[in-house]
Amino acid sequence: MIPGGPADEHRSIAGTFGDRVRGVAADSWDVPTPVADWRARDVVRHLVEWFPAFLADGSDIDLPPGPDVGTDPVAAWQHHAAAVQAVLDDPANAELTFAHPRLPPMPLPRAISEFYTGDVFMHTWDLARATGQDDTLDTERCEAMVQGMEPLDEMLRQSGQYGARVPVADDAPWQDRLIGFIGRDPAWTP
């Protein structure tokens, strides 16, 4: 895990995702991904588009709109990641309560970490795998995420946020277990 709390965690994970975004060849933004019916740019679109509404629904924070993912996915990601980082780096937000109508109240930085930064982490694999980049994820984080999500398996499947679990060997690496848990085939290739 990344020391330093949610701000440092986001800086690191969003930075790695940003490296993968910048690593996509200009003619590869429409290649298929491990997520059914998604192209590479859709991975970026997903992260840039779902989080602002989620954040606004649980706080008074409105992220500024940025460049269009369809036109410039790199600029869209950089703008979005910087805006989220600014929220996390602002000391005034450290003690804010995130009060989303579908979740129990929690500190804002924790909500960002659990719901958003974790999503960025998992989608790093999708984008990297689709575009032929290094798709290695942090083993300790993979293990922690699998162990944290296992007890919530039924609820997570019913939410529609994850596909059907892809079976992997009991002794598979933690990354493969995480990828299988969220409904991806760890052996997927373009």
104 pLDDT band, cuts 50/70/90, is confident
155 pLDDT band, cuts 50/70/90, is confident
Contacts of 88 (CB under 8 A, 6+ apart): 6, 7, 10, 11, 109, 112
Residue 86 CA to residue 166 CA, distance in Å, equals 36
37 pLDDT band, cuts 50/70/90, is very high
Q: Are 190 and 130 in contact (CB under 8 A)?
A: yes
pLDDT score recorded for residue 188: 96
User: What is the pTM (predicted TM-score) of this model?
Assistant: 0.93
Domain limits of the chain?
5-136, 138-184
Mean pLDDT of 142-151: 90
pLDDT exceeds cutoff 80 at 153: no
Tell me the pLDDT tens digit for each residue of 44-102. 999 999 999 999 999 989 999 999 999 999 999 999 999 999 999 999 999 899 998 88
Average model confidence (pLDDT) for the chain? Answer: 93
Residue 168 CA to residue 180 CA, distance in Å, equals 6
Q: Are 180 and 169 in contact (CB under 8 A)?
A: no
Mean pLDDT of 29-55: 96
SS (H, E, C) the chain: CCCCHHHHHHHHHHHHHHHHHHCCCHHHCCCECCCCCCEHHHHHHHHHHHHHHHHHHHCCCCCCCCCCCCCCHHHHHHHHHHHHHHHHHCHHHCCCEECCCCCCCEEHHHHHHHHHHHHHHHHHHHHHHHCCCCCCCCHHHHHHHHHHHHHHHHHHHHHCCCCCCCCCCCCCCHHHHHHHHCCCCCCCCC
pLDDT score recorded for residue 16: 98
Tell me the pLDDT tens digit for each residue of 159-184. 667 788 899 999 999 999 999 999 99
pLDDT score recorded for residue 2: 54
Does domain 5-136 match CATH 1.25.40?
Answer: no
Q: Are 42 and 35 in contact (CB under 8 A)?
A: yes
Contacts of 126 (CB under 8 A, 6+ apart): 33, 34, 35, 38, 43, 184
Residue 79 CA to residue 62 CA, distance in Å, equals 14
